[in-house]
């Protein structure tokens, strides 16, 4: 389906980078540069300890913020975890769930990812559900099967819930490698995701692409009919580069 009505969205994933001084400069750069970006929602997902700093420096600007993970539990004896309501307390709008680094280093299953998305929505946050195949899976021709498997418990949340989330397609082989999927490769998988969303009654959900997006390749990716924006890792740590992606 051609993207006529879905507003573009570009989200930065800082991962485990930054400190108070670095963040302060980066957030000031975003705050002052956001005026050059039209027709695109822009957000940053920062490490938990910097949520308060981010909130303080971005409040009242057009840049929104969020976290990179959330607990599937509401509260209780879950040492080290952070509840969705705690993120909402810092006026987070977004939270990444199921990033490939969480899936592979922390053993997050598809069911846990869907439970996290559900917990996030219950607290009024918008989960950005990440899916994507590994290099090995891609080479074995399993991309569609992997995406279907990862999407299944999320689609089961129902159309009303689905309309309140965002999907990010991030082929693992393209994350942090400098090797982005080509626009055609990405579009092929986005079209599959769109078909599944439409069948679940949620065809208007925004589907972002992630994997080595930079100012120089953003426009060609965004020209694809089912790519509604980007989830950006490395390039989100440089204000001018990140904003050039959003401006594209
Ligand atoms: C990511 O971490 O979600 C990501 C897409 O990283 P990069 O842009 O650095 O490939």
The answer to whether the CB of 2 falls within 8 A of the CB of 199 is no
What confidence tens digit (pLDDT) does each residue in 149-188 have?
999 999 999 999 999 999 999 999 999 888 888 999 999 9
How deeply is 61 buried, as exposed, middle or buried, from its count of CB atoms within 10 A (0-12, 13-18, 19+)?
middle
For residue 102, the enclosing domain spans 8-247
219 within domain boundaries: yes
131 CB within 6 A, ligand 1: no
1 within domain boundaries: no
Phi first, then psi, for residue 129 (nearest 5°) are: -85, 115
208 within domain boundaries: yes
Taking each helix axis from N to C terminus, what angle separates 215-222 and 183-199, rounded to the nearest 10 degrees? 50
Of 139, 137, 161, the C-alpha closest to 149 is 137
234 within domain boundaries: yes
170 CB within 6 A, ligand 1: yes
Structural domain count, the chain: 1
Q: What is the pLDDT of residue 4?
A: 57
Per-residue pLDDT at 3 exceeds 90: no
CATH of the domain at 125: 3.20.20.70
Q: Report the predicted TM-score, pTM, of the whole model to 2 decimal places.
A: 0.96
What confidence tens digit (pLDDT) does each residue in 69-87 have?
999 999 999 999 999 999 9
Positions marked active-site: 99, 170
**Best residue for ligand 1 mutational test, from 210, 221, 241 (most atoms within 8 Å of Cβ):** 210
86 within domain boundaries: yes
3 within domain boundaries: no
Query: What is the sign, positive or negative, of the torsion defined by CA atoms of 11, 200, 162, 2?
Result: positive
Span between the terminal Cα atoms of the chain, in Å: 20
Using CA atoms, how far apart are residues 180 and 16, in angstroms rounded to an integer?
A: 21
Q: What is the pLDDT of residue 1?
A: 47
CA of 145 to the centre of ligand 1 (A): 22
23 within domain boundaries: yes
Using CA atoms, how far apart are residues 228 and 178, in angstroms rounded to an integer?
A: 21
Banded model confidence at residue 225, pLDDT cuts 50, 70, 90? very high
Phi first, then psi, for residue 56 (nearest 5°) are: -60, -40
CA of 210 to the centre of ligand 1 (A): 6
What is residue 227's three-state secondary structure? coil
2 within domain boundaries: no
Banded model confidence at residue 110, pLDDT cuts 50, 70, 90? very high
């Amino acid at each position: 389906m051609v993207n006529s009505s879905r507003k573009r969205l570009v989200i930065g994933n800082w991962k485990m980078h930054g400190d108070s001084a670095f963040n302060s400069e980066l957030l000031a750069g975003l705050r002052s540069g956001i005026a050059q970006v039209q027709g695109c929602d822009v957000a940053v997902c920062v490490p938990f300890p910097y949520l308060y700093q981010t909130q303080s420096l971005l409040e009242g600007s057009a840049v929104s913020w969020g976290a990179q993970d959330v607990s599937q539990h509401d509260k209780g004896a879950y040492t080290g975890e952070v509840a969705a309501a705690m993120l909402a307390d810092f006026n987070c709008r977004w939270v990444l769930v199921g990033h490939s680094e969480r899936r592979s280093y922390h053993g997050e299953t598809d069911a846990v990812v869907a439970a996290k998305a559900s917990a996030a929505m219950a607290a009024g946050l918008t989960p950005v559900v990440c899916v994507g195949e590994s290099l090995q899976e891609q080479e074995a021709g399993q991309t569609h099967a992997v995406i279907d498997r990862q999407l299944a418990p999320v689609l089961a949340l129902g159309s009303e819930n689905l309309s309140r989330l965002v999907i990010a397609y991030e082929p693992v082989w393209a994350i942090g490698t400098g090797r982005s999927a080509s626009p055609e490769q990405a579009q092929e998988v986005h079209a599959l995701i769109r078909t599944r969303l439409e069948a679940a009654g949620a065809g208007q959900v925004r589907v972002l692409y992630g994997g080595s997006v930079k100012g120089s390749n953003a426009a060609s990716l965004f020209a694809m009919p089912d790519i509604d924006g980007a989830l950006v890792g490395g390039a989100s740590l440089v204000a001018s580069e990140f904003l050039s992606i959003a401006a594209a």
